Amino acid sequence: MAEVLQQLVNAVSLGAVYALMALGLALVYSVLGLINFAHGELMTIAAYTLVFSSAAHVPLAIGLALAIGASVVAAVLMERIVFRPVRGSGPMTLLLTSVAISIMIQTAFQMLISPLPRGADLPDFLYQAFDLGPVRLGVLPLISATTAIAGSWIVVKALRATNIGISIRASAENFTITRLLGVPAQRVVIWTFVLSGAVAGLAGVIWMAQRGSVDPLMGSTPLLKAFVATVLGGLGSVPGAILGGFALGAAEIVLQAFLPPELLPFRDAIVFALVIAVLTVRPRGLLPAKLGERV
């Protein structure tokens, strides 16, 4: 029982971070039909910002704000410089553009900072653990899960309750109709990137804190997981991305805990095989985005 509870805590903690990352990808995809493969680099930018500010003895709270701010600014610049010129192009152009910018940012980090990992100088209490009944809780996983869930919740709430959020959802369903109603396309796109940059920044600092360091390629693995989670949940569906993130996290934890040791190296392959199995039954994902009428 204690073992099951323990794994449940781990699954929620990992799933919440995947959900947060998938949410950022899904937001941009839902509005622009663009899978932003440079989303992982937004996470890396946030992680480097936090590492450098803690090295400069900036207080943690300010460092976190700077990190998320840097990721937001990077996302907005990315939209302006890279994605706006190819807006409305075919899916392949958008895909290759985002892969290209991802590689360019990784290379820039390698040349300008260092190819080697840089350790994070984070407070010790994050890496402690305490017992709650039979379950041993790490402080960091607990904080990760709560902030990731809170972050996702705030974004979902904002999409329902704010003018810009409703405009984003309207544009995701049918950009043409939304513009015919007078909503400026450009503003919707910029805000979409702001939100996506913010969740990427938050996910980036959480991811970095968990692994203890940042390197130029840090964003690759989470980007892959987030991509799988969005496809599993239903590409372009925000609730789907969140569900997909939790499902992926749970699958990884369950396999990690119960696979025989000789099969453990194949954990990710088995997880992806499971995802493919789900997609053969539900090709549009667990919670598909509804297709709007097109004009």
Name the site residues for another protein (rule: CB under 8 A): 163, 166-167, 169-170, 172-174, 176-185, 290, 292-293, 295
**Alpha carbons 183 and 168: distance in angstroms, whole number:** 10
In 110-198, DSSP assigns E strands to 118-119, 129-132, 135-138
**Alpha carbons 92 and 95: distance in angstroms, whole number:** 5
Minimum distance from residue 295 beta carbon to another protein (Å): 5
Read off the tokens for 203. Answer: 């996910």
Complex with another protein: residue 169 or 284, whichever CB lies closer: 169
Helix (H) or strand (E) holding 275: helix 267-281
Q: Which residue has the tokens 């949410």?
A: 23
**Alpha carbons 13 and 143: distance in angstroms, whole number:** 9
Complex with another protein: residue 15 or 285, whichever CB lies closer: 285
Complex with another protein: residue 132 or 181, whichever CB lies closer: 181
Minimum distance from residue 185 beta carbon to another protein (Å): 6
Minimum distance from residue 240 beta carbon to another protein (Å): 12
Complex with another protein: residue 48 or 191, whichever CB lies closer: 191
Compute how many other C-beta atoms are within 10 angstroms of the C-beta atom of residue 261: 6
Minimum distance from residue 283 beta carbon to another protein (Å): 20
Q: How many residues does the structure list for the chain?
A: 295
What are the two backbone dihedrals, phi and then psi, of residue 136, each rounded to the nearest 5 degrees?
-95, 120
Complex with another protein: residue 80 or 187, whichever CB lies closer: 187
Minimum distance from residue 151 beta carbon to another protein (Å): 23
